[in-house]
């Protein structure tokens, strides 16, 4: 995902949204690219902002969060983000797997949004 991994890039500025006790979303710039770090529990995932918004229903989650939960990025979160980018730079062979995972997630989301109305679910289908 990081096309400029050879440069010395750092988190330039951004905001943190707390969406509960176990979920945080950081939106920030790094190397001129808008990124989202999505922290769930003890795990963090990196996305370009475009990919994250596409996968997460055009940010309906953020609209529900409200403005009171938005703060500037604290130093500890910036450190977690930099570690995630460092892991990405050390594992270039993982990137195709991450891209495939993201593509499959988008495909699954598109399918769930296009289910025909009135269709029976797998448990309710008649023989």
Q: Which pLDDT score, from 0 to 100, does residue 56 have?
A: 77
The CA–CA distances, whole Å, from 78 to 3, 46, 73, 120, 127 equal 20, 13, 7, 46, 55
Task: Give pLDDT tens digits for 13-32.
Answer: 899 988 878 888 999 999 88
pLDDT of residue 3: 45
Q: What is the pLDDT along the chain (127 residues), one digit of tens a residue?
A: 444 444 568 888 899 988 878 888 999 999 889 999 999 988 999 999 888 888 877 666 666 666 567 899 999 999 999 999 988 766 554 555 556 666 677 666 666 665 555 555 555 554 4
Q: Supply 23's token pair.
A: 């979920």
Q: How far is CA 75 from the centre of its chain?
A: 20
CB burial of 108-124 (b: ≥16 within 10 Å; e: otherwise) equals eeeeeeeeeeeeeeeee
What is the token pair recorded at 18? Answer: 């707390």
CA distances from 30 to 46, 82, 105 (A): 12, 10, 24
Give per-residue burial for 60-88: e unless 16+ CB within 10 Å, then b: ebbeebeeebeeebeeebbebbeebbeeb
């Amino acid at each position: 995902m990081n096309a400029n991994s050879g440069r010395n890039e750092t988190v330039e500025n951004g905001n943190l949204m707390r969406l509960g006790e176990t979920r945080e979303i950081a939106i920030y710039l790094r190397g001129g690219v808008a990124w989202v770090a999505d922290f769930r529990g003890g795990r963090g995932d990196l996305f370009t902002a475009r990919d994250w918004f596409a996968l997460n229903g055009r940010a309906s989650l953020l609209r529900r969060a409200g403005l009171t939960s938005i703060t500037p990025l604290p130093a500890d979160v910036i450190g977690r983000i930099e570690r995630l980018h460092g892991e990405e730079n050390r594992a270039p062979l993982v990137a195709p797997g991450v891209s495939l995972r993201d593509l499959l997630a988008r495909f699954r989301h598109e399918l769930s949004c296009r289910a025909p109305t009135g269709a029976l679910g797998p448990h309710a289908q008649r023989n």
